[in-house]
Amino acid sequence: MNLTKKRLFIYLGLSFGMAWLIFFIFIFTGHTWTGSTLEIISLVSLGMLAPAIAHVITRKITNEGYRLTGEKSMMLGIDLKEKKWVFFLLAMFLPVVYSSLGDGILWLVFPEAFGETEFSLFVVIIYPLIVVVQGVVLSFAAFGEEFGWRGYMMPKLIELMGMPKAIIIGGIIWGLWHAPLTCVGHNFGMDYPGFPYVGIIVMCLFCTALGTVLMYVTIKTNSIWPAAFMHAVNNSMPSVLLFFMKQDVEIPLWIHSFSNIPLIIIAILCFWLMIKGKSITKDNTH
C-alpha cells in the first residue's frame, strides 16, 4: 500500500474511533442536543480534540516526524510576512459576514422567524467583536479539528487525488464524522423530514463548503491557525441578526439551508482561486 494512503487510513481510523467513542458515550447515556450546557460543551469539545490527537499518534506510528513548518510539516508556524496577516484577519471576521448575510436571506424567505428589535451599537459592532475575540481565545477545540483535518487529512488527500477531488472527499469525510451528533439533534434538531439522513447529507454539504474556505486560508498562510480561528468564530454563531430571531419559532431545515448561500458563494470563489493558483498541485501541497 502507498505510504501516504496508509498514513491517511491510520489517521482516519484513529480520528473517527476516538471521537465516535466519546460521541456514542454521549448518546448511550441518554443525552440529546438540548442546549449548550457545560456537560454537553465539555463532551463535544473533548471529541473535537480527537483529530489533533490522531494526527500526533499517526506521525508517531508511521515515523513521519514532527516538523513544525515547511514541506510535510504540521503547519504550526505563524508567518505574517508578505501580507499573510490579511488572511488571519479575513479568517477571523469572515464568519460574521457570511453568517449575517445568510440570516438576512433567511429573513427574506421566512420573515415569521424574526421579531422587531432595534439595531444598536452593541448589535452591529460590539457583539461581532466580542464573538471574534471569544472565538480566537477559546479556539482550542476548533484547533483540535483543524490540526487534524486541514493539518493532516487534507494534505494527504491532495497528494493522493489532487485538489478538486480532495475538497469534495474531505468535506464528506468531515460531515460523516459529525454523524453521531447529527443523529441527536446537533445543528438541525430532530424534527424534520428524513431525519437523520437528510441532516447528515446537509452536514456533508456544509462541511464541504466551510472546508473549502478553511483550506484556502490554510494554503495562503501555510498554517492551520487561521483555519482554527475561523472555525472557532463560526461555531460561536456570530450573526448580528440572531438578536432579531424569535426563540419559539421552528425554522424548517430546507428553509434554514438558504442561510448557507453566502458561504457557498465564498467557497466557490475560494475553490476557483485554489484551482487557478500554482501552489495547490499534487506535488507541492503538503
| Contact residues for 209 (Cβ-Cβ < 8 A; gap 6+) | 171, 260, 263, 264, 267
- Distance CA(41)–CA(140), nearest Å, equals 13
Quickly state the pLDDT bin for 281 (edges 50, 70, 90): very low
| Greatest Cα-to-Cα distance within the chain, rounded to the nearest angstrom | 61
Question: Average pLDDT of 272-279?
Answer: 79
Helix 154-161 with 163-177: angle, nearest 10 deg: 140
pLDDT digits (tens, 9 = 90+) for 21-39: 999 887 887 767 766 566 6
In this prediction, what percent of the chain has a pLDDT beyond 90?
68
> The whole model's pTM is what?
0.92
In this prediction, what percent of the chain has a pLDDT beyond 70?
94
CA 59 to chain centre: 23
pLDDT at 267: 98
Question: Average pLDDT of 56-79?
Answer: 94
* 3-state DSSP assignment of residue 238: coil
pLDDT at 34: 65
Q: What residues form DSSP beta bridges with 245?
A: 114
pLDDT at 237: 87
pLDDT at 27: 81
Q: What does residue 245 show for φ and ψ, rounded to 5 degrees?
A: -80, 140
Alpha carbon separation from 159 to 152, 174, 212, 279 (Å, rounded): 11, 18, 16, 13
Work out the mean pLDDT of the chain and round it to a whole number.
Answer: 90
Which of 20-34, 76-90, 127-141: highest mean pLDDT? 76-90
